[in-house]
Structure 1
Amino acid sequence: MSSTLLEQTRAHHEEIEKLERLIARDWLTNESQAHKDKLYQGHRVKGFLEAIASTSGKLVEIYEDADGARKEEIAALGGLQAENQNVFSAYYDRMKEIRDYHRRHPSARTVEQEDLDAHIKAEPPVYFTGEEALGRFLDLHELHAAFINAKFGPKDGDEEEREYMRYLDTFHQLDSIPRHFKSSKQYRDYLSSLLAYLRSFYERTEPLKDVTQLLSKVEAEFQNQWAAGTVPGWEGASEAGPKASENVLDVEAYDSVQELLEVGTERIKETLEHFGLKVGGTPEQRAARLLLLKDTPLEELDAKHFAKGRRPPKKGAQANGGGDAGREKGAYETALQEAQVRKFCELLKQVISDTRGHVEMKYAQTAEEQDKDLEEQDASGGEESDEDDEQIYNPLKLPMGPDGKPIPYWLYKLHGLNQEFRCEICGDASYWGRRAYERHFREWQHQHGMKVLGIPNTKQFNEITVIADALALHKAMQEKSGTAVWKPDVEEEYEDSQGNVYNKKEYTDLQRQGLI
């Protein structure tokens, strides 16, 4: 009703002021540093801010006055009535309408102090799985199962790479996955699920952060990197499309099926997958299928040779949005999602570290201890004790256990976590404990450091952490393998009367014994 527009405007302004007081009172009243209290406070404040935005939108519509009703009501308050209308009767009519409005909308009345207290003590519904423990840890078990069963996951037989602990260390290293796997639907689905989970977890644990603005900044930075061809794992993709893997064969260099079979079936399969061809059949059939590319362009091959959904468009299809343009768009979207995953992993770095410690501690517990922890958690209803609010005394800086307290010192000493190992190749990084030190030789940071030095990361270089020592050993190995030193005792051949061939040392020993 037009006669109550001004009253609605007053009520909306009062609602906004009430919400602002609620936010201020919430920050001043709930100063607890407990994880659960801060989490619920953030979600309460987010709800208040969303209500302010919604009410402000209603006010904007009233002030824009598209139908002119607000202007008419203001004119009526100024006494600009029709000549045949009594001013006093108009006044009492408006008074009656305002009372009827408040009778129908009792929420528009003044809010009591008790109502404010009830609002700031409410616990908003926030869903977390049991493994996430109210946003303390990540729950990546479903994604881990999808990863180890995927073609781009660890190979069969490599049990260490298939462990959940290993996955927590490497799930964000998407640039290490070969690029020819990234065009598959399986990888795109996995990447979308990983990004959706990380975004959902971040929004649930950091409700006051603007995720949309965050992703906009990531995309702006990504566009510059993509144009310059410096996106990790996608170098040069914007100029020449996805680069071939090191294991992709140059078909032009082979003339027969037998020559292709000599390089190994694994490389033939990777090359077929790179070009979108089928990988089934016997090794001879795979090699013959790959050899077709020697005389026939990829887009002119029969459709029966391609895997489902991998056939490239025919010539002239680029004008309709296919071809290289379509593939580059798909690569751009995949690379952008990878950049967003890396950003969320950077923001959740501490949570990932805590998750790894939590899982490691669970592995060290017996079944009875785990059942006891679950019973205690169910009995407490997930609430934190007053001890959690107290400052933890940890002068030795021991790692934190799943209960939020430092682990026992005897366990700290047992795992050797008091021993520091430094690696100059990794940028002078520190590793605490022998186990972490030995594992880091297989991790990406050490591998990247060896790659920068131009040295293969083989077993011969394990336990070497000084750059000068690594370069010296690499030089010695090159000199040893590159020079052909004649060793007559080993390489000079002798033949007896029966046609048996021996080296000089063996022949001399047998001759002395009278056996020849």
Structure 2
Amino acid sequence: MSSTLLEVTRASHEEIERFERLIVKDLQKEPSTSRERLSQNHRVRTMIDTITSTTQKLVEIYEDNDNARKDEIAALGGQTEKGTNVFNAFYDRLKEIREYHRRHPNARVIDASEEYEELLKEEPHIEFSGEEGHGKYLDMHELYNEYINSKFGKHIEYSVYLDVFSQPNHVPRNLKLTRTYREYLEHLLDYLIHFFQRIEPLQDLDRIFSKVETEFEELWADGKIEGWKNKVLENGHIPSNDSVVDLDYYSTVEELMEVGPEKLKEGLAALGLKTGGTVKQRAERLFLTKHTPLAKLDKKHFAKGSRDVGLNGASDASQQTDDVRQIALMETKLKRICELLSETILQTKENVEKKQALTYEEMELEREEEEVQADTESDDEEQQIYNPLKLPMGWDGKPIPYWLYKLHGLGQEFKCEICGNHSYWGRRAFERHFKEWRHQHGMRCLGIPNTKNFNEITSIEEAKALWGRIQERQGVNKWRPDLEEEYEDKEGNIYNKKTFTDLQRQGLI
């Protein structure tokens, strides 16, 4: 029954209208968790893609390049090759309908609205690695290993790399012209784009990058791109101080030979010159480029296939300029997408620092708690919770009683300088935080053992002063086994009897 072109057109319009209503209905629901928000965005993205593809099909039907729609409309009016006969067209159509119902006497009528409503209950499957935490954090370990094992990278910690990767300006420009750096930049940009499309499916990243490219072209023409200002000459030749070997520091071939054969080979390869020969021959060949442009060099100095001889080196200079422009454009896109993911990058760094301070048992416990929390999400979260006093939520997802809020003093704020001025609400949370990872990490950074002697101390100066007094007492009253008997505290520190008694009287042990 839906074989006719007009019926397909009607069904397509109806499908578009139904999806539009579903999108409005889905977006009217306020997601209570980040996972629900992510699923909602992906459902809407899928429906938008369906609407787009259906609309393109309708455009092709209305363009009617094969005149099929025009012929079908004419057939409805009874127009045939023999003339106009409305009655024959009517009875032919009636015969087709009867034949359809004869072949399908028990055809079930399907309510299309129910079928479409089921789409709102679907949870799209989104691929995330375990480190990404369902879109909360970035997983850049492969890119980190690629960075530290490259010539342009540095041996830094992963947490420091999260601050560095979004700032390509710190890489020397002579190292940016290498193939390794370009491949690393492509891998980094591909991962960030793929990650952004997974957590923000409703964002039009193509339009954002189109605007970035337009602004880049204007700045590039004016030579105002950060890190690439006035680096390319009018003839497309790269200045000597931006090549792999800076020739401005060498006045003779003998001085250039001290660079070494590998460095000379790398410098020659970057300019498209032959890389063979002895160290002196390589140095002489590279030294020629200090005062002579590549376009004027003899073709015998160039590697086979590195340039078109007929163009006398002009194609090489043009290709090198295009490569520099592409690298600068990728760096500009990298900075833009890092601005969009700035909050995620910050959360990733905080999560990495937190994991560094946790033991293996604490990490396993935290992972189990996350799994339990994900499995026990109740359906009641969709209902709006009445909480006019903005009380903290309990384990069941509901506000705790007001009397419990007042009893534990959860409206009272405590700050700890050792924890980075982190706030703790309630006396109980404040007392418990001295054994948690944040305070332990702060004490470890200060070089002070986190013993009960330092409980209730939240100031860095006070902690250092107390630790100094303890070390001073231990130094003055040093234990001597030949004079007195030894005393050991719970932390394993050994004192003589007098020192142990004094510290115990002062409450330090």
Question: TM-score scaled to structure 2, two decimals?
Answer: 0.65
Tell me the CA shift for residue 292 of structure 1.
Answer: 4.2
Tell me the CA shift for residue 184 of structure 1.
Answer: 1.3
1:75 matched to 2:74: yes
User: Which shows bigger deviation, 344-353 or 272-281?
Assistant: 272-281
CA–CA distance in structure 2, aligned partners of residues 70 and 225 of structure 1: 50
Identify the residue that residue 219 of structure 2 maps to in structure 1. 225
1:94 matched to 2:113: no
Which residue, 213, 227, 250 being the options, matches 2:247? Answer: 250
CA–CA distance in structure 2, aligned partners of residues 132 and 183 of structure 1: 32
Tell me the CA shift for residue 67 of structure 1.
Answer: 2.5
Identify the residue that residue 170 of structure 1 maps to in structure 2. 164
Tell me the CA shift for residue 294 of structure 1.
Answer: 3.8
CA–CA distance in structure 2, aligned partners of residues 109 and 63 of structure 1: 29
Identify the residue that residue 120 of structure 1 maps to in structure 2. 120
Superposed, 1:388-467 pairs within 5 Å as 413-417=417-421
Q: Is the contact made by 1:146 and 1:190 (CA closer than 8 Å) also made in structure 2? A: yes
Identify the residue that residue 482 of structure 1 maps to in structure 2. none
CA–CA distance in structure 2, aligned partners of residues 51 and 107 of structure 1: 27
Q: Is the contact made by 1:251 and 1:294 (CA closer than 8 Å) also made in structure 2? A: no
Superposed, 1:102-117 pairs within 5 Å as 111-117=111-117
CA–CA distance in structure 2, aligned partners of residues 415 and 19 of structure 1: 50
Tell me the CA shift for residue 372 of structure 1.
Answer: 1.8
Which residue, 330, 338, 346 being the options, matches 1:337? Answer: 330
Identify the residue that residue 364 of structure 2 maps to in structure 1. 371
Q: Is the contact made by 2:232 and 2:321 (CA closer than 8 Å) also made in structure 1? A: yes
CA–CA distance in structure 1, aligned partners of residues 149 and 107 of structure 2: 56
Q: Is the contact made by 1:318 and 1:324 (CA closer than 8 Å) also made in structure 2? A: no
Which 5+ residue runs of structure 1 have no aligned equivalent? 396-408, 420-432, 437-516
What amino acid is aligned across from residue 336 of structure 2 in structure 1? Answer: K
Change (3 A) 1:370 1:279: farther
Q: 2:150 aligns to what SS in structure 1?
A: coil
CA–CA distance in structure 2, aligned partners of residues 384 and 280 of structure 1: 67
1:206 matched to 2:200: yes
Tell me the CA shift for residue 76 of structure 1.
Answer: 3.0
Q: Is the contact made by 1:165 and 1:360 (CA closer than 8 Å) also made in structure 2? A: yes
Change (3 A) 1:80 1:270: closer
Higher relative contact order (CA 8 A, sep 6+): 1
Q: Is the contact made by 1:256 and 1:291 (CA closer than 8 Å) also made in structure 2? A: yes
Q: What is the CA deviation profile of residues 62-120 of structure 1, one whole-angstrom value per residue up to 9, with x for unaligned ones?
A: 2122232322322333344566886445324324545778989x999764443233111
Change (3 A) 1:85 1:354: same
Change (3 A) 1:276 1:356: farther
CA–CA distance in structure 2, aligned partners of residues 413 and 278 of structure 1: 61
CA–CA distance in structure 2, aligned partners of residues 73 and 349 of structure 1: 56
Identify the residue that residue 450 of structure 1 maps to in structure 2. none
CA–CA distance in structure 2, aligned partners of residues 280 and 152 of structure 1: 24
CA–CA distance in structure 2, aligned partners of residues 312 and 327 of structure 1: 11
Aligned residues: 395
Tell me the CA shift for residue 385 of structure 1.
Answer: 6.8
Identify the residue that residue 282 of structure 2 maps to in structure 1. 289
Tell me the CA shift for residue 383 of structure 1.
Answer: 7.2
Change (3 A) 1:80 1:256: closer
Matched-pair identity in %: 40
Change (3 A) 1:7 1:163: same
What amino acid is aligned across from residue 180 of structure 2 in structure 1? Answer: Q
Superposed, 1:373-388 pairs within 5 Å as 373-380=366-373
Q: Is the contact made by 2:253 and 2:283 (CA closer than 8 Å) also made in structure 1? A: no
Tell me the CA shift for residue 237 of structure 1.
Answer: 3.4
Identify the residue that residue 42 of structure 1 maps to in structure 2. 41
Change (3 A) 1:16 1:110: farther
Tell me the CA shift for residue 357 of structure 1.
Answer: 0.7
Identify the residue that residue 402 of structure 2 maps to in structure 1. none
What amino acid is aligned across from residue 363 of structure 1 in structure 2? Answer: Q
Which 5+ residue runs of structure 2 have no aligned equivalent? 393-412, 424-438, 443-509
Q: What is the CA deviation profile of residues 328-358 of structure 1, one whole-angstrom value per residue up to 9, with x for unaligned ones?
A: 0111111111111111001111111111111
Superposed, 1:52-71 pairs within 5 Å as 52-71=51-70
Tell me the CA shift for residue 249 of structure 1.
Answer: 3.7
Q: 1:414 aligns to what SS in structure 2?
A: coil
1:237 matched to 2:231: yes
Change (3 A) 1:15 1:256: closer
Which residue, 187, 190, 209 being the options, matches 1:215? Answer: 209
CA–CA distance in structure 2, aligned partners of residues 256 and 238 of structure 1: 26
What amino acid is aligned across from residue 203 of structure 1 in structure 2? Answer: Q
Q: Is the contact made by 2:212 and 2:332 (CA closer than 8 Å) also made in structure 1? A: yes
CA–CA distance in structure 2, aligned partners of residues 258 and 68 of structure 1: 79
Question: TM-score scaled to structure 1, two decimals?
Answer: 0.64
CA–CA distance in structure 2, aligned partners of residues 204 and 371 of structure 1: 27
Tell me the CA shift for residue 218 of structure 1.
Answer: 0.7
Q: Is the contact made by 2:299 and 2:312 (CA closer than 8 Å) also made in structure 1? A: no
Q: Is the contact made by 2:174 and 2:243 (CA closer than 8 Å) also made in structure 1? A: no
Q: 1:237 aligns to what SS in structure 2?
A: coil
What amino acid is aligned across from residue 353 of structure 1 in structure 2? Answer: L
**C-alpha RMSD of matched pairs (Å):** 4.5
CA–CA distance in structure 1, aligned partners of residues 210 and 199 of structure 2: 20
Change (3 A) 1:270 1:128: same
CA–CA distance in structure 2, aligned partners of residues 270 and 379 of structure 1: 55
Identify the residue that residue 30 of structure 2 maps to in structure 1. 31
Q: Is the contact made by 2:257 and 2:279 (CA closer than 8 Å) also made in structure 1? A: no
